[in-house]
Structure 1
């Protein structure tokens, strides 16, 4: 009996494989022949190649195409290369692609009910509910919490230098920035005081690393939820236990605050107030940009809604903000310090602006002074171009969509079937020499006032594109700028014996990071 069952499964997989490849072939859509079951993911799943490298490889291979095909396990993915097509899918024809890839609703993890994964009207209502909590005026109130966390980090670093036998100490930047990001989210989102630089093994940080890493196994389960949902739901995410840990903390904090009538201007307070309908959408002009990378809220997010969400729904939002904030900040800041270390001229120019700003403001660090720093914004913007936190942006097609011909020689329009995944390879677009000359070079001048107008629309998307862009872009940019300001003011960063130059990307998970750690030497400026 078991042999018949296995045979049926093999036939099913083979049939789906032939069906998907033949569809691309019939319409002249180019693709790399997939390996049965693994698709084009075999080298990634076997940890031979990082996902970002595969995206660039395919992007360059099909340089004459408007779009091409790739396979995630058994699921065909239409990869978009043409920027006009990116605009149509992400903005103009958004109603055809309003959702991200769906997670199996049976998964007992908060992210399933988060604004990142909700679909249809639920997503629209949640986005409208939450967007007033992420405006510049709300983030302004959280800056003192970020500065306090940065001060704790500086004290710990200076103590390490003091206790060392040399003036320089080798620092794993990924570990340093992860602890900073963890503590900022602890105070800004959960209202908790955590010092992960001294209490290195605290439970909040340990669970945070598990929750935000999203292991290779978790990614496989997530991909299976699209192609084989009945198989995927048999497994539990590695991060499920950590998810329950943070959900419990958040739920208890809400209850404690309500019981004590305690108010603190952090994310918990804003979520509760938003759910009561007490937050209002700011006028576009009054909601300042916090840099070139800022994404604007669409009309969908600015609508007024009267829906009241359950506590479980609010908990899910807090969990996904932790995941997004932890990895986005730690990854972005790690690469920023890496680029400062190997580009000392850029580092010194940035430090000069920081010192001038510091003197002008009498040592005070606040939201307004950060936003006036032009070169700091250029540096952050270039870091997010060269090392975007999300390497590709996916959208779910909710009704059949005519995407046109894949290239000039094709004789048929390709119809994207309902339920298909369409993806935008942002990591590859950001490294396309057509849009960014000498793209591998770290060059903040690309985003100077004289040059930034040369960048085509939709060629820069570190926080996504269209109505489903990152709701927390202002928060992330402000946090990155504050951490950069504090570290660069007090420390000089340079390569050490452990620094890997040029960078070699790790293959042990789906996030972009440097193999062997991200080590740099830190030396006190004073």
Structure 2
């Protein structure tokens, strides 16, 4: 009897606890789906019933009349912003109230992840942003373009060899594997000064370490859960996001390269050279008029990123930035390139128009291209801009509230304003906004004409955000755009891209996954032109 009483009391206590925990939004009239205790609103994703972007899209559309709505990430409230004006306030006007990203790891435990630009917070982030921003101008990217072209040349040669060996003179490729290997080699040369051929040498050490580093499987998810909800325990257990093997590899590679360059007075216009300059305080901000327009999707640096900083950074701080550069290129840029290839395969008319522009550029420049000429390719920029709208690699943007902030009422019937508290999370669902017919008519149609000179001015400001918004936007947008355009240029110049029997038409994501992989893989067919 006593046991039964305790069970009833404990059950009642748990019910009351969860009721209070999951009633944050109710009293403010903020709509949200009923959460599952402990798991919040992510059960369909965890059970493999729904992909994360399909889940986000579904709920976004469900609350079409709301300025914002609520979600529960396990037991933590997350405010999802729909209203464009409110997005502008959060990312620009009242940026100081939403300065930071969510904390994933402790920088003292795992500095390679916790000390990078994405994870840094407050004034320290501002200082690092200002230190690094001169490294990502168009003039710096211009110097790196020959390294990217060299990687592309090796890729083209390797693919041609494989096609010539085949009986039917064609090659079916998994585009994500190809673009990941390409991006890996670009990072190897542009960030670490290494010459790697990941297509010819499939299991080279640099690529293998990259695969380990970006393995976002069950172990990664469990670590993320531990970091998020039990930070003290994860610190006590010394849990790290990266394995010791990968940490030692990247530290040794970076430091040995620096030692070799100093010893032999080697100057190579890549990321390691720029980081070495940044450490000495020798990176100088350029006049804005000197910067080259890298395309419609490019984001500009804010005043925060252009201030002068007199601060010394440790070797570990610089390694962390190089690793972040690696992660961004290995996963997000390769995803953009993958869907660019996919769209060329399923949009032959668009492919041929882009090929025509590429051939005209080849004829005009005598078979060569540089940073300026590729930025002058109008249709190329239209195509890439549309790829980044429909297939944005960053599904959502997050910000942590650093000072209590009044978001106003969620809807016309809400009883009172919602005050978001310090430490709570806001999310901007850019994937869903990019597919909202209110901002992009017939949103599921791949239509580069949205970004023509005649049409792009009608795009609602702050509705297009593939590289984020405000001072905390993506510092590497120019590099990413350049890399995607160069790959498309070289690939389409030499190959016709077609669908094959394994091409996923219509596109459908694998349920339960966080990466943007299509069911059965991202397969296409290549034929030599």
Shorter-chain TM-score above 0.5:
yes
Q: Distance in 1 between matches of 2:293 and 2:9?
A: 56
What is aligned with 1:70?
71
Q: Equivalences for 1:50-65 in 2 at 5 Å?
A: 50-65=51-66
Q: How does 1:467-506 map to 2 (within 5 A)?
A: 467-506=471-510
Distance 2:271 2:241 in 1: 26
The alignment of Structure 1 onto Structure 2 pairs a total of residues equal to: 520
Counterpart secondary structure, 1:316 = helix
Q: 1:411 to 1:489 in 2, by over 3 A?
A: same
* Residues 1:33 and 2:34 are matched in the alignment: yes
CA distance in structure 2 between the partners assigned to 1:223 and 1:465 by the alignment: 27
Aligned to 2:256: 252
**Residues 169, 521 of structure 1: 8 Å contact kept:** yes
What value does the CA root-mean-square deviation take over the aligned residues? 1.9
Q: 1:117 to 1:238 in 2, by over 3 A?
A: closer
Distance 1:279 1:9, change over 3 A: farther
Contact 1:257–1:263 under 8 Å retained in 2: yes
State the alpha-carbon separation in 2 of the partners of residues 398 and 482 from structure 1. 40
Separation of aligned partners in 2, 1:121 and 1:7? 50
CA distance in 1, matches of 2:192, 2:41: 40
Q: CA deviation at 1:464?
A: 0.7
Tell me the residue number matched to 1:439: 443
Note if contact 2:346-2:498 (Cα within 8 Å) is conserved in structure 1: yes
Higher mean C-alpha displacement, 387-396 vs 510-519? 510-519
1:211 aligns with 2:213: yes
Note if contact 1:401-1:415 (Cα within 8 Å) is conserved in structure 2. yes
CA contact 1:32–1:70 (8 Å) conserved in 2 = yes
Aligned counterpart, 1:156: 158
Aligned equivalents of 1:60, 1:394: Cα separation in 2: 19
C-alpha deviation, 1:9, in angstroms? 11
- TM-aligned CA deviation for residue 103 of structure 1: 2.3
Aligned twin of 1:414: 418
Pairing 1:517–2:518 present:
no
Three-state SS of the structure 1 residue aligned to 2:406 is strand
Equivalent positions of 1:33-432 (< 5 A) are 33-105=34-106, 107-233=109-235, 234=237, 235-237=239-241, 241-432=245-436
**For 2:496 and 2:362, how far apart are their aligned partners in 1?**
17
Equivalent residues of 1:328, 1:476 under 8 A apart: no
Secondary structure in structure 1 of the residue aligned to 2:25: helix
Instruction: Report the equivalent of 1:3.
Output: none
CA distance in 2, matches of 1:16, 1:304: 49
Distance 2:421 2:231 in 1: 19
Answer with 499-508 or 311-320: which moved more. 499-508
Flag the 1:306–1:192 CA change in 2: closer, same or farther, 3 A.
Answer: same
- How far apart, CA to CA, are the structure 2 residues paired with 1:240 and 1:172? 30
SS at match of 1:86: helix
Moved more, 82-91 or 208-217: 208-217
Contact 1:391 1:425 in 2 (8 A): yes
Which sections of structure 1, spanning at least 5 residues, go unmatched?
1-5
Please give the per-residue CA displacement for 1:176-231, whole angstroms capped at 9, x wherever unaligned. 10000000000000000100011110010011122234335424432442333235
Name the CA shift for 1:149/1:16 in 2 (closer, same or farther; >3 Å).
farther
**How many angstroms apart in 2 are the aligned matches of 1:58 and 1:97?**
24
CA-to-partner distance for each residue in 1:385-410, whole Å, 9 max, x for gaps?
00001100000001111110000111
Shift of 1:104: 2.9
Deviation at 1:242, TM superposition (A): 2.5
The SS at the match of 2:164 is helix
C-alpha distance in 1 between matches for 2:74 and 2:287: 45
Separation in 1 of the partners of 2:11 and 2:296? 50
Determine if contact 1:110/1:319 at 8 Å carries over to the other structure: yes
For normalisation by structure 2, the TM-score amounts to: 0.95
1:145 CA displacement: 0.2
- CA deviation vs aligned residue, 1:420-474 (integer Å, no higher than 9, x gap): 0110011100000000011111100000011111111110111111100000000
Q: Given the two structures, how large is their TM-score scaled by the length of structure 1?
A: 0.95
Aligned-partner Cα distance in 1 for 2:372–2:9? 64
Conserved? CA contact 2:116–2:320, under 8 Å: yes
Moved beyond 6 Å, runs of 4+: 6-15
CA spacing shift, 1:27–1:280, aligned 2, 3 Å: same
Cα distance in 2 between the residues matched to 1:462 and 1:216: 27
Task: Kindly provide the CA deviation profile for residues 241-300 of structure 1, in whole angstroms up to 9, marking residues without a partner as x.
Answer: 434422321122112212222111000000110121111111222112200000000000
Aligned-residue offset at 1:232: 4.4
